[in-house]
């Protein structure tokens, strides 16, 4: 261990070190091909710019197609038409009304799914008997098309908000519960062993070790699954809804109001993006300890 | 000779009597450990080495009460082992720290079930943080620490509630060679100051000889004790010992035993 201060250990070879002593190191010339090295990092501004440039090009192409009337406006309305449709919905108060109804349904549907999925998923991840009892059932239901359940959902819950929330619940819960089971299973078994050695009861280990250890992963599951809840919105508002972003799109279908359809779809996308960002940021605040900043 | 070795007197601390472990693998029984009889004395530092799959970790888990023997009995202080308990402390290769707690929080958590005053707990936490050289990192989170530092937290967490046996499962296996050397010295220093019985699983023969009073070589398939070698080197030990001819002799002897086992296993694996 003595004398180890000479040079750094590891793969740094002596030759390159002496080279650096003669000429000061300078930033190597940067090439476009550097962008296509496997897994290599690229400059942050380029990374961000790429995310802006691609949608911008698509928008430009879209605008050109509409401007040159390469496609009938019925099939693809111009970006301007979409904007003015958006403005109309805002000024007439339709958008706020639709969005608040839809957000309410999303939040309640997702929350009910989550409130059930968290305890069930945690139990499934920790007790083989519960996994054995529920996993085959849930995996089967998971593949059933939610749309096909609309008639039944109306029979069971009527045509009010309850029916919409039920559809959102069905679309979210079965995926979510399996993901939470996996989140819990993926924690280091030795954490549980450490807890047992330290004399903690099963309940204490569950609440004070397993749950916090799995919480960043569970939060990620929340973030992903609320995205899925958003994608089920149109399905949920397919039948017997007067208001809602999904309803607006389905109504527009009847009148071939493609500008309304496209605006509604894009707007749902934007709300989904906002939700995602909120979850991401809150997660970062909540799980500071999970960051490797060294 | 072993000047200040251990108070190797009286009844054994840990006793293994005809311990066997059979697993079910694809509906067929797989004998991981055929039969192990072992006596470990109070404050003895015992390493277990052997080829991979010889049942080293299984053995450690059974002493820890995390796994049950299929036959035989394990006794600690004369009492049969029935599950894990606070008379034992565990250190795992994967650190296994509570990552949502600070360094201090991790160590304090281990004291939660101790019936002692709060001030005394704080004093113990402080003492062990110093003992493993982590003063100044009390409020750091594990993910902000290097591997070696994380393992120091794990060692402090395993010792702070004063278990009489420390079970270590390849604790330094994930560390680079330099850090590992420093951690071995640190472990010996801490052990000299706070005597406990140590059961140390490793596949690093240098490490086993350097640290231990006794090295147990396990035979593979099925696992059983092949050799039980007393390491008669003075303590406290320092890194100069690594080039001592007596050290090298022990190392050669143990390596030969393990090599023989490895060849046997490889022959078994031939199609």
State pLDDT tens for residues B24-35: 888 888 888 888
A–B interface: beta-carbon pairs under 8 A = 73
Q: How confident is the model at residue A28 (pLDDT cuts 50, 70, 90)?
A: confident
Cβ-count burial A152-179 (b if 16+ within 10 Å, e if not): ebbeeeeeebebbbbbbbbbbbbbbbbb
Nearest to A190 among B94, B109, B112 (CB): B94
Residue A207 at interface with chain B, using a CB cutoff of 8 Å: no
SS3 B23: strand
Residue B113 and residue A200: Cβ atoms within 8 Å?
Answer: yes
**What distance in Å separates the CA atoms of residue A68 and residue A83, rounded to the nearest whole number?**
18
Residue B85 at interface with chain A, using a CB cutoff of 8 Å: yes
Residue B82 at interface with chain A, using a CB cutoff of 8 Å: no
Residue A212 and residue B98: Cβ atoms within 8 Å?
Answer: yes
For B223-250, the pLDDT digits (tens) are 888 999 999 999 889 888 989 999 999 9
Mean pLDDT of B175-203: 91
SS3 B230: strand
pLDDT at A171 exceeding the cut of 80: yes
CB < 8 Å to B109, chain A: 198
Residue B240 at interface with chain A, using a CB cutoff of 8 Å: no
Structural domain boundaries in chain A? 80-289
| Confidence at residue A1, expressed as pLDDT on a 0 to 100 scale | 40
Q: What is the CA radius of gyration of chain A?
A: 27
Residue A212 at interface with chain B, using a CB cutoff of 8 Å: yes
Average model confidence (pLDDT) for chain A?
Answer: 88
Residue B86 and residue A292: Cβ atoms within 8 Å?
Answer: no
Residue A193 and residue B92: Cβ atoms within 8 Å?
Answer: yes
- Distances in whole angstroms, Cα of residue A206 to Cα of each of A117, A121, A122, A213: 16, 12, 9, 10
| Confidence at residue B157, expressed as pLDDT on a 0 to 100 scale | 94
| Confidence at residue A294, expressed as pLDDT on a 0 to 100 scale | 47
Q: How confident is the model at residue A31 (pLDDT cuts 50, 70, 90)?
A: confident
- Distances in whole angstroms, Cα of residue B195 to Cα of each of A34, B6, B101: 57, 9, 28
- Residue of chain A with shortest Cα separation from B111: A198
| Confidence at residue A23, expressed as pLDDT on a 0 to 100 scale | 64
CA distance A160 to chain B (A): 43
What number does CATH give the domain A80-289? 1.10.3720.10
Contact A164, A105 (CB under 8 A): yes
- Residue of chain B with shortest Cα separation from A191: B96
| Confidence at residue B166, expressed as pLDDT on a 0 to 100 scale | 94
Contact A126, A184 (CB under 8 A): yes
| Confidence at residue B10, expressed as pLDDT on a 0 to 100 scale | 65
| Confidence at residue B4, expressed as pLDDT on a 0 to 100 scale | 43
Q: How confident is the model at residue B6 (pLDDT cuts 50, 70, 90)?
A: very low
Q: What is the pTM of this model?
A: 0.84
Contact A210, A172 (CB under 8 A): no
Place of tokens 């549907």: A109
Q: Is A56 left (phi over 0), alpha (psi -120 to 50) or beta?
A: alpha
Residue B171 at interface with chain A, using a CB cutoff of 8 Å: no
The ipTM is 0.88
Mean pLDDT of B145-165: 92
CB < 8 Å to B65, chain A: 196-197
Percentage of the residues of chain B whose pLDDT score is greater than 90:
57
For A188-221, the pLDDT digits (tens) are 999 999 999 999 999 999 999 999 999 999 999 9
CB < 8 Å to B181, chain A: 1
**What distance in Å separates the CA atoms of residue A105 and residue B136, rounded to the nearest whole number?**
50
State the sign of the Cα–Cα–Cα–Cα dihedral B143, B144, B149, B154.
negative
Residue B99 and residue A190: Cβ atoms within 8 Å?
Answer: no
| Confidence at residue A7, expressed as pLDDT on a 0 to 100 scale | 41
Give percent helix, percent strand, percent coil of chain A, each to the nearest 5. Answer: 75, 0, 25
pLDDT at B143 exceeding the cut of 90: yes
pLDDT at B5 exceeding the cut of 80: no
pLDDT at A29 exceeding the cut of 80: no
Residue B109 and residue A190: Cβ atoms within 8 Å?
Answer: no
Which candidate in A5, A188, A190 is best for mutational testing of the B interface (most B CBs within 10 A)?
Answer: A190
| Confidence at residue B266, expressed as pLDDT on a 0 to 100 scale | 84
- Distances in whole angstroms, Cα of residue A37 to Cα of each of A31, A45, A140, A182: 11, 17, 42, 33
For A57-112, the pLDDT digits (tens) are 999 999 999 989 888 888 999 999 999 999 999 999 999 999 999 999 999 999 99
Task: Take residue A144 and report the two structure tokens written for it.
Answer: 């059933």
| Confidence at residue A2, expressed as pLDDT on a 0 to 100 scale | 41
SS3 for A190-253 is HHHHHHHHCCCCHHHHHHHHHHHHHHHHHHHHHHHHHHHHHHCHHHHCCCCCCCCHHHHHHHHH
Task: Select, from the ranges A172-176, B23-27, B259-263, the one with the highest average predicted confidence (pLDDT).
Answer: A172-176
Residue B94 and residue A9: Cβ atoms within 8 Å?
Answer: no
A24-33, A206-215, B41-50, B128-137: segment of lowest average pLDDT: A24-33
Task: Take residue B33 and report the two structure tokens written for it.
Answer: 């450990």
């Amino acid at each position: 261990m003595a004398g180890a201060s000479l040079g750094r250990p590891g793969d740094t070879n002596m030759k390159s070190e002496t080279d650096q002593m003669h000429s000061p190191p300078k930033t190597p010339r940067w090439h476009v091909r550097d962008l296509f090295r496997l897994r290599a990092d690229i400059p942050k501004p380029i990374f961000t710019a790429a995310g802006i440039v691609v949608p911008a090009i698509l928008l430009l192409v879209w605008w050109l197609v509409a401007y040159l009337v390469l496609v009938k406006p019925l099939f693809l309305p111009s970006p301007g038409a979409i904007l003015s449709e958006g403005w109309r919905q805002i000024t007439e108060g339709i958008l706020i009304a639709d969005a608040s109804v839809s957000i309410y349904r999303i939040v309640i549907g997702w929350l009910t799914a989550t409130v059930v999925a968290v305890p069930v998923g945690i139990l499934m991840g920790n007790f083989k008997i519960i996994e054995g009892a529920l996993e085959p059932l849930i995996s089967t239901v998971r593949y059933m098309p939610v749309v096909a359940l609309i008639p039944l959902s109306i029979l069971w819950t009527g045509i009010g908000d309850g029916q919409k929330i039920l559809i959102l619940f069905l679309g979210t819960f079965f995926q979510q519960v399996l993901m939470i089971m996996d989140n819990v299973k993926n924690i280091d078994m030795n954490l549980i062993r450490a807890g047992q050695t330290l004399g903690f009861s099963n309940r204490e280990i569950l609440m004070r070790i397993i749950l916090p250890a799995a919480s960043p992963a569970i939060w990620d599951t929340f973030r992903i699954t609320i995205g899925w809840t958003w994608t089920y919105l149109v399905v949920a508002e397919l039948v017997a809804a007067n208001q809602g972003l999904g309803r607006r799109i389905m109504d527009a279908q009847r009148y071939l109001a493609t500008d309304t359809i496209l605006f509604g779809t894009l707007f749902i996308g934007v709300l989904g993006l906002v939700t995602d960002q909120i979850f991401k940021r809150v997660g970062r605040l909540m799980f500071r300890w999970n960051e490797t900043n060294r | 000779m072993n000047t200040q070795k251990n108070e190797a007197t009286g009844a054994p601390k840990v006793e293994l009597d005809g311990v066997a472990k059979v697993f079910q693998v694809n509906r067929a029984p797989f004998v991981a450990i055929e039969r192990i009889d072992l006596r470990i004395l109070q404050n003895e530092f015992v390493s277990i080495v052997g080829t991979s799959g010889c049942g080293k970790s299984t053995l450690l888990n059974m002493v820890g009460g995390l796994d049950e023997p299929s036959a035989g009995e394990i006794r600690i202080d004369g009492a049969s082992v029935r599950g894990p308990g606070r008379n034992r402390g565990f250190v795992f290769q994967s650190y296994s720290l509570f990552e949502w707690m600070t360094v201090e929080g991790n160590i304090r958590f281990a004291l939660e079930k101790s019936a002692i005053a709060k001030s005394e707990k704080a004093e113990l936490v402080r003492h062990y943080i110093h003992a493993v050289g982590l003063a100044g990192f009390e409020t750091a989170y594990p993910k902000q620490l290097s591997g070696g530092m994380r393992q120091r937290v794990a060692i402090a967490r395993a010792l702070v509630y004063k278990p009489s046996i420390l079970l270590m499962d390849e604790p330094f296996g994930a560390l680079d060679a330099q850090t590992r050397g420093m951690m071995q010295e640190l472990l010996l220093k801490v052990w000299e100051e706070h005597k406990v019985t140590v059961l140390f699983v490793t596949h690093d023969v240098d490490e086993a000889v350097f640290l231990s009073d006794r090295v147990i070589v396990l035979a593979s398939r099925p696992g059983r004790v092949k050799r039980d070698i007393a390491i008669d080197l003075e303590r406290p030990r320092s890194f100069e010992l690594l080039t001592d001819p007596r050290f090298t002799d022990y190392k050669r002897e143990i390596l030969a035993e393990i090599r023989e086992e490895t060849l046997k296993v490889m022959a078994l694996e031939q199609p």
